[in-house]
Amino acid sequence: MNPGIGLLQPYPFEKLTRLKAQVRPPRGLTHIALSVGEPRHQTPALIQTTLSSNLSGLANYPLIRGSQLLRESIAAWVCRRFNLPGDSINPDRHVLPVNGTREALFAIAQCVIDSSRDSLVLVPNPFYQIYEGAALLSGAKPYYLNCESKHKFLPNLDAVRAADWERCQLLYLCTPSNPSGAVMDEAALQRVIALAECYNFTVACDECYAEVYADENAPPAGLLGAAARVGNMAYRHCLVFHSLSKRSNAPGLRSGFVAGDARLIEQFARYRTYHGCAMPPPIQAASVAAWRDEAHVVENRRLYREKFEAVTRILSPVLDTERPAGGFYLWPRTPINDQDFARELYGRQNVTVLPGSFLSRESDGHDPGLRRVRIALVAAFDKCKEAAERIKTYCKTL
């Protein structure tokens, strides 16, 4: 067996199931789940209609690189969204469709890590658990970059020694962040690119929440835009990961893409040829329709803004709650231990949130997930508002 399997921790939701196992919530209150980051807004009709009208594509084997039309649609969207020169993203060299960002974020470590070296994979802490698992199963060691309030919940790059940058082969970033919603600005991303140039490592920037943000006039910066603005038009060392799951409320479509450094894309495509995970043709067609349309994305942001405004208004008197710059999570500090908070909230109010310590690890003598919970505002507006009132009621008892 791969020795890395023995190092994997139970997934956060396995831990949550165990935490709640002996708890019986009040029968008179319906359950409201705010623990899983699964979008619940309606999947746009244009995606559903295009998918169903292209079922004849099931008769054909799909290509690993996807259709020319899909790659062109993705390249055009990237250039529009991140203000890149129209010819700087070549659909044939810089873009690779993938079956959602989860499998691609895992697989990229298996592709770029040289397991014969004493390698580090740097990950934000707290983090999407795929980063850690990918590092361990590639034969590397995770190095946790604490993301704390004193650093605006962004990775503290200054804490990394030169010797550890030398060992780094892969750096995972997530902006907007899961779970805090913190956004790295272009200057911070350019600093990361400079480090990658200096120490020769790959930057895998998870931007799957990049289309869910608070200010319609201030979309989050992206790694490719940051690279272009410092003259790195080859996007050396840079890969971005985007998905239709959050942007277009289509998590079941399992559709996303990786874009950036043509040399890395070429090698990743070769790896995926053996991995065997091509996107089915009907999903490719639906994805083309989704990447070409922005109206449903604007409406999606409006719905999240509405929920954030209502929920933060209710919770701010009882919890240290701030509206994040991006994403659809709240990341409040809890007045008691986060696991106790989540368990008792479920037991008294039948609302499920995720303990922050289930998303983090102790590093440098501190666990940045302790005394925090992740609240996913994915349920309908009325349910989110009701859950907030129940959380407020519970907090008043502490």
Nearest to 96 by CA among 112, 79, 74: 74
Q: Are 385 and 314 in contact (CB under 8 A)?
A: yes
Helical packing angle, 12-20 and 338-349, nearest 10°: 50
For residue range 120-160, list pLDDT tens digits in order: 999 999 999 999 999 999 999 999 999 999 999 999 999 99
SS3 311: helix
The residue from 293, 318, 339 where one domain ends is 293
23 near 362, Cβ under 8 Å?
Answer: no
Taking alpha carbons only, the member of 305, 306, 308, 312 closest to residue 392 is 312
User: Is-contact 300 212, C-beta < 8 A?
Assistant: yes
Rounded to 5 degrees, φ, ψ at 201 are -125, 165
Which two structure tokens, joined as six digits, stand for 133?
């698992």
Same domain, 36 and 49: no
- Please state the domain count of the chain: 2
Q: Which tens digits make up the pLDDT trace of 167-201?
A: 999 999 999 999 999 999 999 999 999 999 999 99
For residue 286, what are the contacts with CB-CB under 8 A and spacing of at least 6? Answer: 47, 48, 50, 51, 54, 250, 253, 255
Same domain, 38 and 50: no
Structure confidence at residue 230 (pLDDT): 97
E strand spans, 83-119: 95-98
**26 falls in which pLDDT band (50, 70, 90)?**
very high
Token pair belonging to 379 = 């349920």
Kindly report, residue by residue over 93-120, the tens digit of the pLDDT.
999 999 999 999 999 999 999 988 999 9
| Beta-strand pair 329-330/351-352 | unpaired
Domain shared by 31 and 92, yes or no: no
Q: What is the arithmetic mean of pLDDT over 307-330?
A: 96
- pTM for the model: 0.96
Instruction: Residue 366: give the domain boundaries.
Output: 3-42+296-395
One domain, residues 331 and 265: no
